[in-house]
Amino acid sequence: MTTKVITVSNQKGGVGKTTTAVNLSHALTLRDKHVLLIDLDPQGQCATKLGMDSQMGTYYFLTTQPGSSSEITFVRQWIRDTGRDYLHLLPGNSMTAAAQMMLSVQDQPISYIKELLKIFSKDRLDYIIFDTSPSVGGLQERAIWAADLVIIPTATEFASLDSLSKTVTTIHTLRDKKNWKGGLLGILPTFFDGTNESRDSILDLQATFKEKVLSPIHRATVLRECWSEAKTIFEYASGTRAAEEYRSLASLVLKY
């Protein structure tokens, strides 16, 4: 079985990265795919979103010694069952930021996280999905390098377009200068609400990125309410447009 790695990335916060990572992960499991969601954001919100406690799993993952069987066993013990069929979580918390600092100080190679993923080689996973923090370089670059596919959520507002260009530049640099073998699945417009700003933002995206602009995720009250209920969109409001939009995103992922 070949595990496909997907990184959800943007250098700006508040664009729907965690909402996308969690709902995409659940959508794939509803198609009978085995998914491990890894939270690389020090806020640890993947666990919160799923009604779980943030923990140090990601810290131990990032600071382990890849060749040590005892440490590999220790890291795997931090994988948590989410209570949803086929969906598991490696939770993070504020200590993830300390791990990121350690990687920078140690000057770990760009391939570091990709090598660490060998820890899960015997888990028969269909997908590993990374939720990333809005940081520049470091952890985010290594998570992109580890990915087969990258999804960049971006709010449909002009303020978000600059950070989008920085993330795309990072991807191009990794591909052109470091021979990254992955690819950009697409740019995912989020918080689309039909205003002139939202419509103009999508037109600007399409003019620049053409077919790489995916169908938008509309602004929806139910997506905010999911957070307080600690449920995914499929548990909280499976018949809504928001749920259908994330099902469509999962269908696109399954084609690759």
For residue 137, pLDDT beyond 70: no
Residue 128 pLDDT grade (very low, low, confident, very high; cuts 50, 70, 90): very high
For residue 45, pLDDT beyond 70: yes
DSSP state of 77: T
Tokens of 188: 């995912």
Q: Which of 243, 126, 252 is nearest to 184 (CA)?
A: 252
Tokens of 17: 């990265």
Quote the mean pLDDT of the chain: 94
Please tell me the predicted confidence (pLDDT) of residue 68. 78
Tokens of 213: 């602009």
Please tell me the predicted confidence (pLDDT) of residue 145. 96
Domain boundaries, the chain: 4-254
Q: Which of 116, 64, 156, 72 is nearest to 130 (CA)?
A: 116
- Of 17-31, 65-79, 117-131, 190-204, give the lowest mean pLDDT range: 65-79
Query: Which tens digits make up the pLDDT trace of 76-123?
Result: 999 999 999 999 999 999 999 999 999 888 989 999 999 999 999 889
Residue 25 pLDDT grade (very low, low, confident, very high; cuts 50, 70, 90): very high
105 or 136: whose pLDDT is higher? 105
Query: Taking a C-beta distance cutoff of 8 angstroms, is the pair 205, 152 a contact?
Result: no
CA–CA distance, 26 with 22 (Å, rounded to integer): 6
Query: Taking a C-beta distance cutoff of 8 angstroms, is the pair 44, 98 a contact?
Result: no
Q: What is the pTM of this model?
A: 0.96
For residue 136, pLDDT beyond 60: no
- Fold of the CATH domain 4-254: Rossmann fold (3.40.50)
Q: Ramachandran region of residue 188, left (φ > 0), alpha (ψ -120 to 50) or beta?
A: beta
Please tell me the predicted confidence (pLDDT) of residue 171. 93
Please tell me the predicted confidence (pLDDT) of residue 163. 80
Q: What is the mean predicted confidence (pLDDT) over 26-32?
A: 98
- Of 45-54, 58-67, 128-137, 247-256, give the lowest mean pLDDT range: 128-137
Residue 149 pLDDT grade (very low, low, confident, very high; cuts 50, 70, 90): very high
Beta bridge partners of 88: 36, 81
Query: Taking a C-beta distance cutoff of 8 angstroms, is the pair 146, 118 a contact?
Result: no
Q: Which residues contact 87 (CB under 8 A, 6 or more apart)?
A: 25, 26, 29, 35, 37
Please tell me the predicted confidence (pLDDT) of residue 66. 73
In the chain, the amino acid numbered 133 is S
